[in-house]
Amino acid sequence: MMDRSAEVVLQLLRGALNPSWQMALPEGIDWNRALDLSKEQCVCAICLEGIDKLEKGSVPTPQLLQWFGQTELQRGRYQFAWSVACKLDKLWAAEGINATVLKGRAIAQYYDVPHHRYSCDLDVFVGQGWERACELLEGRGVQLGREVYKEVEFTMDDVYVECHRYITPLRGNKQLQAFERYLRSLLDEGQPTFFEETTLVCPPLMFSVMLYVEHALGDLLHGKLLLKHVVDWVVLRRQAVDWEALGTKCKEFRFDRFVALIEALADVVEGKKEYEALPAAYKEVFDEMLQIQEAPEGQRTWFQRRVHLFFDILRSGKKFRRYGYTSMPSFLFHSVWTHFFDREVKWM
């Protein structure tokens, strides 16, 4: 059984995502806890859309003002992060370097209110000219973190940025190497489209959906799946997705068991299915998701993040067996082996 705060958040999300949903809030609501839970799950602004549909006075004024404040803060961060993306675009475009926006705004554009989708950083992919892109950053005095082989990490105007040379953590992983080739083929199809008034590439819908699946699966296996991810799927599955092609590719890359899970969780969040109707294994994921209270990645050093990730994976053996594309021991073995003994990326 979900506690009352979780029921409140779920009802608010349903009200936000379904115009005809009739919200039925439980008695004795702890609005402070409901607000905190919505923030922990990165759905605070979406919940406010649900609050807007309640009768005036349903939420006590102090908590309502905090909800408005958190949402306004998120709007500001969203706009500020995009200003940094535009600054990077101007720096790189001058030398013919195009960056593709990953996740973030690429998914937020499908929301009714894009800035209500929470994002704490900026991810871009530079296929051609990645080394030159890094040189240009260093020439501007930007300090690049190169601890992770697939990207450089840096902070620009207080916005955390990952500039990817590889879209996925593919080193030593044949499954993800094939997936990387597939994602790049999607980017190469047809003429690219760009975000307004920039040369930042807006990836095709299928690219964003498939990358979402791989990334959300990784978050599940690493103990970081949130209601935010489920709401993303609710929004993405409403788009003009080629479901036959999606199903074929998910089976090919062994993502199909995870897609079945996220579909069921999305049905609960959207109000198409009640929590009690979930299979026991899916309930376990849902319950665990609501317990997550993660410190932001930026508050940990690179080493601390890796240690934390290692123990998260060790605790996730059951989830690897049920939803992963490989077993947990195999995943850890290849990760450790490639880190120490096979650091060169071979994937083409």
* Residue 21 forms part of a structural domain: no
Residues whose CB falls within 8 Å of the CB of residue 148, separated by 6 or more in sequence, listed in order = 302
* Residue 67 forms part of a structural domain: no
Find, among 84, 88, 83, 125, the residue nearest to 103 by Cα: 125
pLDDT value at residue 214: 96
Confidence class of residue 222 from pLDDT cuts 50, 70 and 90?
confident
Q: What percent of the chain has pLDDT over 70?
A: 86
Strand pairing report for 151-156 and 159-164: antiparallel
pLDDT value at residue 170: 85
Residue with tokens 């030159």: 132
* Residue 9 forms part of a structural domain: no
Cα–Cα distance for residue pair 339/220, rounded to 1 Å: 22
* Residue 103 forms part of a structural domain: no
Cα–Cα distance for residue pair 146/345, rounded to 1 Å: 15
Cα–Cα distance for residue pair 282/333, rounded to 1 Å: 27
Strand pairing report for 159-164 and 122-125: parallel
Give me the mean pLDDT over the 125-130 stretch.
Answer: 92
pLDDT of residue 344 exceeding 80, the answer is: no
* Residue 226 forms part of a structural domain: yes
Give the total number of structural domains in the chain.
Answer: 1
Give me the mean pLDDT over the 78-85 stretch.
Answer: 95
Q: pLDDT (tens digit, 9 = 90+) per residue, 224-271? A: 899 999 999 999 999 999 999 999 999 999 999 999 999 999 999 999
* Residue 228 forms part of a structural domain: yes
Domain that holds residue 233: 204-348
Which range has the top average pLDDT, 282-286, 296-300, 311-315? 282-286
Half-sphere exposure of 157 (CA within 13 A, CB side): 12
Three-state SS at 151: strand
* Residue 36 forms part of a structural domain: no
Q: pLDDT (tens digit, 9 = 90+) per residue, 65-74? A: 999 999 999 9
* Residue 244 forms part of a structural domain: yes
pTM over 0.85: yes
